[in-house]
A = this chain, B = another copy of it.
Amino acid sequence: MATRRRIGAPDAKNRAVLLDAAERLMLEEGYAAVSSRRVARQAGLKPQLVHYYFRTMDELFLEVFRRRAEEGLREQARALAGDRPLRALWEFATQPEATGLTMEFAALANHRKSVRDEIARYAERFRAQEIQALTGVLERAGISADDCPPAAVAIFLTSLSRVVVMEKALGMSAGHDEAFAFVERRIHEIESGRQSVGAPSGRTGAPPPASG
Contacts and interface: CB of A to CB of B under 8 A. Distances in A.
* Secondary structure class of chain A's binding surface, majority of residues: helix
Interface in A103-134: 103-104, 106-111, 116, 119-120, 123-124, 127-128, 131
Interface string A188-207: 00000001111111111011
A183 to B, nearest CB: 8
Interface stretch (A66-74, A75-83, A84-92, A171-179): A171-179
A170 interface: yes
A148 interface: yes
Interface stretch (A14-22, A48-56, A139-147): A139-147
B202 A179 contact: no
Contacts of A146: 200, 202, 204
A155 B173 CA distance: 11
Contacts of A179: 149, 151-152, 155-156
A178 B152 contact: yes
Interface string A9-35: 000000000000000000001111100
A112 B123 CA distance: 28
Interface of A: 29-33, 103-104, 106-111, 116, 119-120, 123-124, 127-128, 131, 142-144, 146-149, 151-152, 154-156, 158-160, 162-164, 166-167, 169-172, 174-176, 178-179, 181-182, 186, 195-204, 206-207, 210
